[in-house]
Chains A and B, each alone.
Chain A
């Protein structure tokens, strides 16, 4: 199956700092998705990317679909306490008669007071 490497695994930052995380793979994906999950809750979709090179923003969040289609990054600017949570990337692939969805292992964002 497809494998996604998400990094960093966790981040300890100060409020107001910018955050950057990424996902890479040896496989090509058709779509990249970024989700945030709060403890005990289901993931919430933040940004969806459908084209290589696409750069999309959602408020203070910006994500890009890598031109090689094998990577994506998510940036959060001027972090605030409610940004705390686990961020997952997910890659969708289709081809050969099969569609697949793979999630990264998550980036745990912790904001220090």
Chain B
């Protein structure tokens, strides 16, 4: 149980385009979903927390107009990287939780590798 999927697993795009990444909880309803960014050989950095039906809460330093998060249902959250640039290239990982806060157990998706040319 507690399976989280992400789509796509890999995406390559041109600079200036927007990319949408989907995160789905397949066998449970996720009250909260989290989005992380991971650079090569680095740790995970929390970008934002989203609760179904409300606006996402962004961590300090993360541009909310750059990284648009929509949590339309209890099983789906999307992250859109708008006007992507090469420095946005990274591994983006989502996680989903039954609870409302970071202290509740998170189940991670397999990640999406974004490469911006």
Give the contacts of B78-114 with A (CB-CB under 8 A). 91, 93-95, 101-103, 105-111, 113
B26 within 8 Å of A by Cβ? Answer: no
Contact among A42, A45, A99 with B103 in the assembled complex (CB-CB below 8 Å) = A99
Of B45, B103, B110, B113, the residue contacting A30 (CB under 8 A) is B103
In angstroms, Cα B95 to Cα A88, docked, is 15
Q: For the complex, what is the distance from the CA of A101 to the CA of B106, rounded to whole Å?
A: 11
User: CB within 8 Å of B: which of A82-113?
Assistant: 88, 92, 94, 99-101, 103-106
Q: Decide if the interface of chain A is mainly helix, strand, loop or mixed.
A: strand
The interface residues of chain B, by DSSP majority, are classed as strand
A105–B94 Cα gap in the complex (Å)? 18
Kindly state whether residue A78 has any CB partner on chain B within 8 Å.
no
Q: Is the CB of A99 within 8 A of B102?
A: yes
Q: How far is the CB of A47 from the nearest CB of chain B, in Å?
A: 11
Binding site for B on A (CB under 8 A): 30-31, 35, 40-45, 48, 88, 92, 94, 99-101, 103-106
Q: B residues engaging A (CB < 8 A)?
A: 4, 6, 41-46, 91, 93-95, 101-103, 105-111, 113
Instruction: Given A40-B111, A41-B111, A42-B93, decide whether A103 and B103 contact each other with a Cβ distance below 8 A.
Output: no
Alpha-carbon distance A74/B10, docked complex (angstroms): 32
Q: How distant is the Cα of A45 from the Cα of B110 in the complex, in angstroms?
A: 13
Q: Which residues of A contact B42 (CB under 8 A)?
A: 105
Residue in B46, B103, B108 whose beta carbon sits within 8 Å of that of A94 in the complex: B103
Asked if residues B106 and A42 are in contact (CB atoms below 8 Å), the reply is: no
Task: Pick the contact of B102: A43, A100, A105 (CB < 8 A).
Answer: A100
Given contacts A43-B44, A105-B43, contact A92 B103 (CB under 8 A): yes
Q: Once bound together, how far apart are the Cα atoms of A50 and B91, in whole Å?
A: 29
A45: which B residues are within 8 A, CB to CB?
A: 105-108
Cβ of B44: which chain A residues have Cβ within 8 Å of it? Answer: 43, 88, 103
